[in-house]
Amino acid sequence: MKIIVNGRNIELTDAIKAFVTEKFKRLETHFDFILEVHVFVGVEKNPRIQLNHHAEATVHVHGAVFRLEAASTDLYASIDLLVDK
């Protein structure tokens, strides 16, 4: 499984990349049909948006593409919610 991590309006640190990679590698043990995962993490800078940390994923499997989104007040919590979906 190939995992690609990109950031929007955020500086991607090695810790964030490692956290995303670790969480999505766990899926490989349960689902061997996942080919590729594109993960986008970001922060909305608008103060009116309360759930300003969001994570999005595009999961490629044989014959289908899944798109997932999650948002919360913490980036790591958003990533956890995304993996749970």
Residue 30, pLDDT score: 85
Residue 9, pLDDT score: 87
Q: How many CA atoms lie within 13 A of 62 on its CB side?
A: 3
Q: What pLDDT band is residue 20 in, cutting at 50, 70 and 90? A: very high
**pTM to 2 decimals?**
0.87
- Which DSSP state fits 65? E
| Rounded CA separation 55/68 (Å) | 8
Q: Where are the alpha helices (DSSP H) in 1-85?
A: 14-30, 75-84
